A and B are shown apart, each in its own frame.
Chain A
Amino acid sequence: QKEVEQDPGPLSVPEGAIVSLNCTYSNSAFQYFMWYRQYSRKGPELLMYTYSSGNKEDGRFTAQVDKSSKYISLFIRDSQPSDSATYLCAMRSYSGAGSYQLTFGKGTKLSVIP
């Protein structure tokens, strides 16, 4: 079983829809959870991060973590065509080499249709 599982999609929704993106993980050592957004032909950029179980909201975006189920979600309300991108979940653990590493999901490609 891979450490981080993420459905690659593609996911296509109409403008204004609520989008739900999800990842599951198996490693209990993961402490911090992040969502990166990657536009076509660009590098990923951090969208949201959270630590504790529960919800964290930022504008139209809500990140949700359920540590007991090892499940994280990103919700996008009132989705816009500009949200069309690949969304990668990432989880942080201590690497043992004096540093931290991120383990990424494979990414879900989202298209929001006007």
Chain B
Amino acid sequence: DVKVTQSSRYLVKRTGEKVFLECVQDMDHENMFWYRQDPGLGLRLIYFSYDVKMKEKGDIPEGYSVSREKKERFSLILESASTNQTSMYLCASSYLLGGWNEQFFGPGTRLTVL
């Protein structure tokens, strides 16, 4: 059974704090993704990575950075959290090539920035 886990289900932080969201997958997937999901805006891609130490910007990378030091782990970093980063953050992983590249999602982290 594919498992994508995220470090926290709920997180409350203050404006200006540095925030780390961690994601771990156990399927040896090459690709990993970070999305945020907001009512009325749907799922928006922040960053993705197709290999260790590789990263690509998604549609809304501003205010975020990522780190992928190991294949199974992909971290999203909010350098200085702001209230407009309050959102549901979803991590996903998939194989690089072949098949349908189905993305498997974690349960999400609901981040509130006060």
Tell me the A residues contacting B by CB distance below 8 Å: 6, 8, 32, 34, 41-46, 49, 88, 92, 95, 97-102, 104-107
Interface residues of B in 5-22 (CB under 8 A from A): none
Residue-wise interface mask of B (71-107) relative to A, using a CB-CB cutoff of 8 A (1 in contact, 0 not): 0000000000000000000101010100011111111
The reply to whether A101 and B45 form a contact with Cβ atoms under 8 Å apart is yes
A32, A43, A44: residue with the most chain B Cβ atoms closer than 10 Å: A43
Q: Apart from A46-B102, A99-B50, A106-B41, what are 14 other A-B pairs with CB-CB below 8 Å?
A: A42-B107, A43-B107, A43-B108, A44-B43, A44-B105, A45-B104, A49-B100, A92-B100, A99-B56, A100-B94, A104-B42, A105-B42, A106-B42, A107-B43
> Which of A8, A41, A100, A107 has the most chain B CB atoms inside 10 A of its CB?
A100
Task: Give the complex CA separation of A104 and B37 in angstroms.
Answer: 11
Q: How many A-B residue pairs have CB under 8 A?
A: 59
Contact partner of A41 among B31, B40, B102, B108, CB < 8 A? B108
Cβ of B34 within 8 Å of any chain A Cβ, yes or no, is no
